[in-house]
Amino acid sequence: MAAGRGGDAGVGTRVVTAGRRKEWTGAAVNPPVWRTSTHLYPDCASLRERLAHNRDGEFFYGRRGAPTQWALSDAITALEPGAAGTVLYPSGVAALAGALLAVLRPGDVLLVTDNAYDPTRSMANGLLRRFGVEARFFDPLDLPAFEAAFCDRTKAVLLESPGSLTMEVCDIPALARIARKKGAASVLDNTWASSLGFRALQHGCDICVQALTKHVGGHSDLMMGAATAGESHYRALRMTAQELGQIISPDDAALALRGLRTMALRLERSAATALAVARWLEQRPEVARVLCPMLPGSPGHRLWQRDFTGGCGLFSFTLAGEDDAARCRFIDSLELFGIGYSWGGFESLALPVDPAKHRSLMPWSGDPMVVRLSIGLEDAADLIADLERGFAAVAQG
């Protein structure tokens, strides 16, 4: 679908204007929620004409969506420079599956970054293996080993940066360049930065996947995913999604559009608060390491500064020692941080995570007591006071 207006404007302007086509919104600011399975045709000739074309942005049948979903996918496309179109899925994991199934055949080899989101690992080792795709994991920080890992059957590469839980930033432009040279499609899980913080296609990736559940939704009230591609891969993405019967509800599309309008503002605020919290944690004697690419001096900061135009509220840190009970006491005593999966919402979350369990190639040799924080929109001073309460609870034993 064609990108909306405002391609060169600032990021705040772009999220406000993206996807708001007059023919879909009418006189309203937002497109109405089109609840529909059946679209009616004036006569048999027009029904046959639609059947023959299968074009984006045209009524056909409910599974191809209606203006509410089209406006959202158009908006996501407009925010990713170089994109030809976006397919929406009922979750981020569904988007990853849709992207990988679009570019892989039985007998192919898929290279997967070893610090991938754990359900991505499970998909590679489960579903994809069952359908004859061989998944091999690689260390994203070792470029020569990555290049050596290709064989004639390597047809796709799954990248993610920063890596899940431990936040390593890898050299995506270099990895994508190698993949392209070897004739493999590169799929990037760009959920952390979103298209606002990392221009995946301009940096050489073929498909940009985002869990819209996180930053676009932004309010912890919906599940959704998107895969965005240029001309080279959009057709395959779209056909595969149609064959899989993927469709999102118009109500969820309207919620995601609402979230999108404030996304630039929310990301800027939560990233700034996260940096303030990370700086504070860095000074605490109880903290061994802060794993936050936005923090000067932290691993990955140099590449983050080179390639990214923004960050977000998600980062990790490690507690000194190996006392899991102390880690749980720390998290349990927090009042502003909820304990739960997901991130990118308006509310802060804290989670005990164990990266060693989710690696096969680059064993996590750092301190084992990792805590992942998702910083929301509360005030930094209040979050810091809450974390201070957590450390006090640990000290009390």
Ligand X SMILES: *Cc1c(COP(=O)(O)O)cnc(C)c1O
**Sign, Cα dihedral of 373, 378, 382, 384:** positive
Residue 213 interacts with ligand X (CB under 6 A): yes or no: yes
Residue 189 interacts with ligand X (CB under 6 A): yes or no: yes
Binding characters for ligand X, 74-103, by CB under 6 A (x = yes): -----------------xxx----------
CA distance 84 to 77: 7
Find the catalytic residue in 63, 105, 302, 306.
Answer: 63
Residue 220 interacts with ligand X (CB under 6 A): yes or no: no
Which residue among 57, 67, 162, 225 contacts ligand X (CB under 6 A)? 225
CA distance 132 to 251: 37
Residue 117 annotated as catalytic = yes
Find the catalytic residue in 155, 214, 266, 289.
Answer: 214
- Min CB(41)–ligand X separation in Å: 35
Q: Which is nearer to ligand X, 57 or 140 (CB)?
A: 140
Burial (CB < 10 A; 0-12, 13-18, 19+), residue 268, is middle
Place of tokens 């959704």: 224
User: Cα 233 from chain centroid?
Assistant: 18
- Min CB(31)–ligand X separation in Å: 23
Q: Which is nearer to ligand X, 93 or 172 (CB)?
A: 93
Closest listed residue to residue 259, CA positions, set 293, 308, 226: 226
Query: If binding means CB under 6 A, how many residues of this protein chain bind ligand X?
Result: 12
Find the catalytic residue in 56, 189, 252, 307.
Answer: 189
Which residue among 115, 166, 191, 318 contacts ligand X (CB under 6 A)? 191
Half-sphere CA count of 138, side-chain side, radius 13 A: 25
Which residue among 33, 174, 223, 336 contacts ligand X (CB under 6 A)? 223
Residues 6+ apart with CB under 8 A from 199: 80, 81, 82, 309
Residue 234 annotated as catalytic = no
Residues 6+ apart with CB under 8 A from 368: 318, 322, 354, 356
Residue 214 annotated as catalytic = yes
Binding residues vs ligand X (CB under 6 A)? 91-93, 117, 164, 189, 191, 211, 213-214, 223, 225
